[in-house]
Structure 1
Amino acid sequence: MELTIWGWLLLAIASALVGLAKGGLSMVGMLGVPILALVMSPVQAAGILLPVYVVSDVFGLIAYRRHWDRRVLSRLLPGAVAGIALGWATASMVDDRMIGGIVGVIGLAFALVTLLRPAPADAPPRAADWGRGTFWGLLTGYTSFVSHSGAPPYQIYVQPLRLGKETYAGTVTVFFAVVNAVKLIPYAALGQLGVGNLGKAAAMIPVAAASVFAGVWLVRRIPHRSFFLFITWALLLVSLKLIWDALR
């Protein structure tokens, strides 16, 4: 479909949010598909934005190449790949809004507990265990495939590990770079990476790239406590949006 000026503006906003997410403000990228879905189907919106995610990942990897946790990735990625495969296998049977609603309820509960009962400043970090990592990785991969809403389950697993803010930002960037690269295969098989979608995505590369480095700049200047408070509030708001979309 051809985009109007309004459509191109929304695509630019969505691409900027994706770039900011890859710069370390992870939750804001989830707003991209809902914003773009104002002028097209959510399926096409996801198809257009996936290449934007992948290109933004490259710039994010450059920015955070020295800041990521190998241990966390090793726990999450096997489950995430399995979750993507499950999403591909059930693509014709699922209601992506309902899945998003379930993710929203989980994310909302986690955000409220974190805000209302914050961990003491001297609380020890939780260990990155295989069992929880596999479960939350599976859920992250599945929800990322069906609706680009993998950030809430990822955050539920990783935030209690109490990583430094740049390590957190770098780890989420590397993790979703791998997830998005794997998603290219099933998305192509489902016909969501046609020439039209790729052309629109290519036009947004400068917007997304500039936004990645804007996100990196912000992460490095936001105080540690404020950074994690921001991503928790962002999780709460995004979760409410997912629940709202499921109930409409």
Structure 2
Amino acid sequence: MLTLDWTFFAVAVPAVIFAGISKGGFGSGASFASATILALIIEPGMALGIMLPLLLLIDLSALGPFWGKWGRREAVLLIAGGLPGVALGALVYQLATPDLLRLLIGGVSLGFVFWRFALKRGWIRIATGTMPDWVGGLMGVSAGFTSFVSHAGGPLAAIYLLSRNLNKTEYQATTVVVFLIINIAKFVPYTFLGIFSAQTILADLVLAPFAVLGAWIGVRAHFLVPERLFFGLTYQLLIITGCKLIWDGLT
């Protein structure tokens, strides 16, 4: 049962603004931290249901400033793989319990932080050459799947995009258009799986202005704020919330 009280909005409003800034300006997938944070106070499936319309609204808000600036081939490959990935995610979701979803979301959160840390330390090296097209399709499937179960497809898409020698704006624009299509595709299975409800829709109506505000800030921050500064906070949030969700899922 979702109670739209002050506790909910004290957590949800900053989380949604954060999602808007991340998706609107930095395109590296950290916006899923918002669903992770919400899953601390409400049932994980409900958190996913609340965030999907808001993420789509953020995508639409950021689409205009980046229109036509994406890498066309990269976008097509990721979308072509992402749609089957969404279908796979829907199949897995039907078998998942709330505790399993907590483990999945928490695990993806910690995995994202480890991936970024390992890249920085040189433990993992992304190919310096251009990855072949089939890798783009495979990463698309993986991104579609993780996007469905935790709104966390960005890091997998990033592995492929970072090898394609796109500039900062091309990279951001590609993530916007790819996840706009993937998020639209998620609406139908989310509806049939009962993830949306009158309560999640009401929460979305109240939170929508904050999503647009976050996207507006993010688009402008894209050209002003160093990505390192923004993600310093992101990593700390994901470590804390990811550990808490895994603990809750296990206990």
- TM-score in same-fold range (> 0.5): yes
Out of 186, 191, 195, the position equivalent to 2:194 is 191
Give the alignment of 1:45-194 within 5 angstroms.
45-94=47-96, 95-100=100-105, 103-104=108-109, 107-117=112-122, 126-194=129-197
Aligned residue for 1:126, secondary structure, equals: coil
Distance in 1 (CA, whole Å) between partners of 2:22 and 2:48 is 16
Q: In the comparison of the two structures, how many residue pairs are matched?
A: 243
- Return the offset for 1:206: 1.2
Between 1:236-245 and 1:187-196, the stretch displaced more is: 236-245
- Equivalent residue number for residue 34 of structure 2: 32
Contact in 2 for aligned 1:101/1:242 (Cα 8 Å) = yes
What amino acid is aligned across from residue 82 of structure 2 in structure 1?
A
| 1:147-205 C-alpha deviation (Å, 9 max, x unpaired) | 11212212222223332111111111111111110000100111122222112101112
| Cα gap change, 1:28 to 1:90, in 2 (>3 Å) | closer
RMSD: 2.9
Out of 207, 210, 215, the position equivalent to 1:207 is 210
- Equivalent residue number for residue 18 of structure 1: 19
Distance in 2 (CA, whole Å) between partners of 1:97 and 1:207 is 25
Contact in 2 for aligned 1:52/1:202 (Cα 8 Å) = no
Contact in 2 for aligned 1:67/1:171 (Cα 8 Å) = yes
Give structure 2 stretches of 5+ with no counterpart: none
Contact in 1 for aligned 2:4/2:203 (Cα 8 Å) = no
TM-score of the two chains, using structure 1 as the length reference: 0.85
| Cα gap change, 1:131 to 1:102, in 2 (>3 Å) | farther
Between 1:230-239 and 1:169-178, the stretch displaced more is: 230-239
| Cα gap change, 1:156 to 1:112, in 2 (>3 Å) | same
Distance in 2 (CA, whole Å) between partners of 1:28 and 1:154 is 12
Give structure 1 stretches of 5+ with no counterpart: none
What amino acid is aligned across from residue 153 of structure 1 in structure 2?
L
Runs of 4+ in 1 over 6 A off after TM superposition: none
Identity of aligned residues (%): 26
- Return the offset for 1:244: 6.0
Distance in 1 (CA, whole Å) between partners of 2:164 and 2:229 is 15
Distance in 2 (CA, whole Å) between partners of 1:147 and 1:61 is 22
